[in-house]
Amino acid sequence: MQKQSVKFILIIIIGVVMLGIFKNLFGQKDNTELKEVLADNAYLVDVRTPSEFASGSVKGAVNIPLDKISGQVSKFKGKKNIVVFCRSGNRSSQAKSILEKNGFKNVVNGGTWQNVNSLISNN
């Protein structure tokens, strides 16, 4: 009987984890904070590679690839709000963490460049 209880609990845990993964992959992203900082002239930073950036990005964005962020933190000083973005949201999440470890508290992960672009285009 105890083995069945453990199996049941494991199945529930796995189900909850899978639900969270699917929600993150397919759920609607809450862009409320992002919309607010974009409306307030945020510093837009595309953290993709230069070739990815050259293939299309957000108007007014600067390109500081993820692997260069740590060495270029001075470019972020004095910025009221910073929005980082990339192709999938993964590199921008890493960039946000790097900036926060360097003392920046005003960083928003915009996710994909298309997400940021669509929000700017709709304003």
> So which residues are the catalytic ones?
86
Beta strands in 1-123 (DSSP E): 43-46, 62-63, 82-86, 107-112
Per 3-state DSSP, the chain is made up of helix, strand and coil in percentages (nearest 5) of: 55, 15, 30
| 63 strand-pairing partners | 46
